[in-house]
Chains A and B, each alone.
Chain A
């Protein structure tokens, strides 16, 4: 009896599935079929672990667009996606939509070369300015035209081990002197105060951006990145000096220039380090690896008496539409669908991603870790003071010098002034080539 019932249900199920497919096939004439090629970074682990959310949203998009055939490729977050996109664009065969970085000057070079579709008409049509804050739009704008839709919200702060702080008698620092005292105490106890993996080149540049924000504020950052202020000037120099002082006080992992970012995270998770100075891009990894009763975050305190607390911010990555796409309208519709506010909960709960939003997000309704809401609420409250991330906003040739030569500054082999002068020289070359960020 049970077997008969099972067979009947199975037959009904197969028939129903067949009917649905047939219905879809009927709806789709061959001439209506459209292929949408998408390259993104949404994996199931690591920096952009939003795979489950993206698949859910894709399913919904597919239901609304039964004639669209997806051709999706997932690349690792960070450099793999960027390398793949760069090759695709220069070879003249790029995906319709890609989710990559950087913005600012990086976007300028792409837009200037004609690789990107102008999304301004779509921004108007879908009212993206109601969803996105002005600073995020500006980072993705070149000469008044919007070329990308910025997504993940990036902010940088300190994750710390509450237990280790308690054991060493350290309070959350309220001044630069407190930071140095924390380093001294940790070092005396044989611990690393702040784990730093600058073998990956960008972590120290991020740190330098944060300290420039703390000693200069948002306008200084904008002026530096838009070539209205020399790099060899007071605030960036003072920021380097402050970091060098921290090196002197043994704040960071020994051999940080040869330690990878992942190994620095391990130093923090294993208890070798009391804290790690990094950002939102690893928030789920940190939350998963550290018990909640041990973990908390704080933003670096004001480093002097005249400037308030601040940090650096940017979008982790953004959606771009290739200028050569034959389905631009569909591609823009896809970008709009993926970023629609109705998916906010899916992105946050299933995708571990906090999207850039104009209106503050009420994290309480999503029941996520308190660390996550604290990180975003505190960081976004300083939006007027935060500086755009140097390494994702400066021209690529300037970033190259930042990455490599700041290692020399921190090891004491290069004088800060020489490093800053070199940045100015590269900025001049970039300016001549029209590569400077010009929203």
Chain B
């Protein structure tokens, strides 16, 4: 009797989470997958019929989808290059400082700002006529650099990404700090006695021992970047001229505005597959035992 209860109890404890995930995650994913093989006559229809891979086939010739996917990849790269690198550098600089708690709280502040609010405020900062950024550039004599940051297709994607980076680097700093604090200081001390300089210590001690943390941050950043939506939707709505169009924003428009439910579903299946593949690759790398 006791043994039987013992066998069941883990499942009982897991049940709430499984039910929750089932309703809000797995069922919608399965339904979405099912919808991606259906089609209607026109949009908004409820007369769904099986169309096989037609929606997926359409993705192959959709130039805007390809462009959006490329923007997603650029977004991933920028999100790794800017906030992750800044976070790592700040964490390394702070780890042995007494004031690290104070500074990490300061750096973490932007994370607490709602992304939509950040997008609105940064929209004002970037504004070409009354924005603080151009005014500051003019003030320090760099007025030739002043430009319509969000209004020019050449600068819009990077400019919007900077809003996301501003709201994310503090999170990276905090995670890296936690990772760095787990490294035994005696290792650094031994390296210093052996004559290793700061760069050598970073390359040969910090980076290898921080690998699990680094991998976690990279996976988390990649997944977050691939499904990014809010800041772009508020700041540029995918414009100008589709230069900040990413898959989630395009999908939202197809589904909500154009009523093309099945095509949007196929697009989201592909996006999910890409995110899943990237995550699996990274997790495998993370859990691989060192040789």
Contact = CB atoms under 8 A, between A and B. Distances in A.
B148 interface: yes
Given A110-B44, A112-B44, A255-B150, A400 B239 contact: no
Interface string A237-279: 0000000000000000111111110010011001010000000
Contacts of B129: 192, 253-255, 259, 267, 272
A411 B148 CA distance: 12
A258 B150 contact: yes
A92 B44 CA distance: 12
B151 A258 contact: yes
Given A89-B44, A113-B44, A253-B128, A397 B258 contact: yes
A65 interface: no
Interface stretch (A67-75, A157-165, A338-346, A401-409): A401-409
A263 B240 contact: no
* Most chain B beta-carbon contacts within 10 A, residue among A255, A270, A400: A255
Contacts of B258: 396-397, 400
A77 interface: no
A254 B128 contact: yes
A435 B44 CA distance: 10
Contacts of A86: 256-257, 259
A199 B239 contact: yes
A200 B237 contact: yes
A370 interface: no
Interface in A109-137: 109-110, 112-115
B1 interface: no
Contacts of B238: 404
B261 interface: yes
A109 B152 CA distance: 34
Contacts of A404: 238-239, 241-242, 245
Interface string A391-417: 000001101100111011001011000
A435 B43 contact: yes
Contacts of A408: 153, 240-242
A168 B212 CA distance: 65
A396 B42 CA distance: 11
B149 interface: yes
Interface in B238-269: 238-242, 245, 253, 256-261
B259 A90 contact: yes
Interface residues of A, number: 46
Interface string B181-193: 0000000000000
B240 A257 contact: yes
A259 B123 CA distance: 8
A143 interface: no
Q: Could you say which interface size class chain B belongs to?
A: 35 or more
A396 B238 CA distance: 16
Nearest to B149: A258
A82 to B, nearest CB: 8
**What does DSSP make chain B's interface, helix, strand, loop or mixed?**
loop
A187 B241 CA distance: 25
A80 B130 CA distance: 28
Contacts of B259: 86, 90, 109, 113, 396
B151 A396 contact: no
Contacts of B42: 109, 112-113, 433-435
Given A257-B148, A258-B151, A407-B240, A90 B123 contact: no
A400 B240 CA distance: 13
B41 interface: yes
B156 interface: yes
Given A112-B42, A433-B43, A258 B128 contact: yes
Contacts of B126: 258
B151 A259 contact: yes
A255 B148 contact: yes
Interface in A206-227: none
A200 to B, nearest CB: 7
A189 interface: no
A198 B156 CA distance: 14
B139 interface: no
Contacts of A113: 40, 42-46, 259
B103 to A, nearest CB: 33
B166 interface: no
B124 A263 contact: yes
Nearest to B128: A255
A47 B43 CA distance: 29
A255 B133 CA distance: 14
A439 B87 CA distance: 59
A266 B128 CA distance: 13
29 contacts: A86-B257, A87-B256, A89-B44, A92-B46, A113-B46, A114-B46, A198-B240, A199-B123, A199-B236, A199-B240, A200-B237, A254-B148, A254-B151, A255-B128, A255-B129, A256-B151, A257-B240, A258-B128, A258-B151, A258-B236, A259-B128, A263-B124, A263-B127, A272-B130, A396-B257, A403-B239, A405-B242, A408-B153, A434-B42
Interface of B: 40-46, 123-124, 126-130, 147-153, 156, 236-242, 245, 253, 256-261
Interface of A: 82-83, 86-87, 89-90, 92, 109-110, 112-115, 192, 198-201, 253-260, 263, 266-267, 270, 272, 396-397, 399-400, 403-405, 407-408, 411, 413-414, 433-435
Given A253-B129, A267-B129, 14 more contacts: A82-B257, A90-B259, A109-B44, A113-B43, A115-B44, A199-B240, A255-B127, A255-B150, A257-B148, A257-B152, A407-B240, A408-B242, A411-B152, A433-B43
